[in-house]
Amino acid sequence: MTGSSSVQPGGMITFAIKVTNQGNVDATQIGVVDYVPAGLTLSDSRWTFAGGKATLGTKLALLRAGRDTTVNITFMVDAAATPGVKLNKAEISEAKDGRGDPATDVDSTPDAVDQDRFVTDNDITGDGKNGGDEDDHDPAEFTVTPRPVFDLALLKSLKAGQSGVVVPGGSVTFTIEVKNQGNVRATAVRVTDYIPAGLTLNDANWNLVGGNAVLRTAIASIAAGASAFVDITFTVNASAAEGQITNIAEITDAKDPDGNPVTDIDSNQHC
């Protein structure tokens, strides 16, 4: 049994179930069941779902001795599926011989009960009747990966050691932290500082554009869960009025790891 190695919530996943006739007798009326794990919902009209199991709607009519055939089964991954490695198992539930009579498998017992003690993938050599793996039962691992979330946040504060009280003609430096709160690496992150009255840009790492300060070189990359820090320095104008001044900065652009435009999950970027 094989399938895609990973899938995201809301996505589709298809498993290929291979049935092999290892004997020297033709097999007929072969039933197949899939033990649907939590987090998957059957999305395949060829199968019916009941009691936690998907059953192939039309049995395999004939499988010649020494031959094999493959049937697929498709699921949707639930939106609430938890990330991690999952296991989906399938089994031959019944079969008859070439004359349509009940038949006894030499090394396994076809049924629709998930009771095999072994879950070795693609093992068709086991002898379930002598303590081994029932080879009519097989698992396939797959991984549910988190849905991509792009989420940048900006925090601004006085630089460490910078006094909160400044005088005309003096300088003031702020530290801007851009934090990647998502699970996707951010690239080409641009930041704009909206210069308030009373301050004049005095920092070679920033450009003055239309009255605002724009970070000269975009932040190249911020890994998921990490932060990048940039400082910005101003001179307090000689004519600055006494009182509190508020300085605001904003993320104005960012890209995904491939350099494509992205949508932040909880904020908008304004250029």
Task: Tell me the per-residue pLDDT of 255-268, one tens digit each, with 9 for 90 and over.
Answer: 999 999 998 988 77
Domain boundary among 101, 122, 144: 144
- Same domain, yes or no: 196 and 228: yes
201 and 140 together in one domain: no
* Other beta carbons within 10 Å of 149: 13
Residues 133 and 159 in one domain: no
Digit-coded pLDDT (tens) for 4-13: 688 999 999 9
| Residue 263 falls inside a structural domain | no
The answer to whether residues 50 and 125 belong to one domain is: yes
CA pair distance 3, 88, nearest whole angstrom: 9
Average pLDDT over residues 132-158: 92
| pLDDT band of 118, cuts 50, 70, 90 | confident
Residue 260 lies in a domain: no
* Mean pLDDT, range 181-190, rounded to an integer: 97
The CA distance from 188 to 261, in Å, is 10
Mean pLDDT of the residues in the chain: 93
**Is 269 inside any structural domain?**
no
Look up residue 195 and give its amino acid: I
Split into its structural domains, the chain has a count of: 2
Residues 138 and 186 in one domain: no
Do 121 and 219 share a domain, yes or no? no
**Domain-located, residue 96:** yes
Final residue before a domain boundary, out of 116, 144, 172 = 144
Q: Does residue 128 surpass a pLDDT of 90? A: no
**pLDDT tens across 58-90, in order?**
999 999 999 999 999 999 999 999 999 999 999
Amino acid at 15: F
Higher local confidence (pLDDT), 270 or 54: 54
Domain with 234 in it: what CATH number?
Answer: 2.60.40.10
Whether residue 132 is found in the same domain as residue 161: no
Question: Which of 183 and 131 is assigned the larger pLDDT?
Answer: 183
DSSP secondary structure letter of residue 230: E
* 262 inside domain: no
Indicate if 157 and 250 belong to the same structural domain.
yes
Same domain, 87 and 213: no
Higher-confidence residue of 119 and 261: namely 261
Query: Do residues 24 and 158 share a domain?
Result: no
**Of the candidates 179, 270, 178, 180, which has an alpha carbon nearest to the alpha carbon of residue 232?**
178
Based on the fold, state whether residues 7 and 136 are members of the same structural domain: yes
The model carries a pTM of: 0.70
User: What domain range is 93 assigned to?
Assistant: 2-144
Q: Tell me the CA distances in angstroms from 75 to 12, 14, 27, one per residue in order.
A: 6, 6, 28
- pLDDT band per the 50, 70, 90 thresholds, residue 125: confident
Domain boundary among 98, 113, 144: 144
Asked if residue 130 belongs to a domain, the reply is yes
> Taking a C-beta distance cutoff of 8 angstroms, is the pair 116, 47 a contact?
no
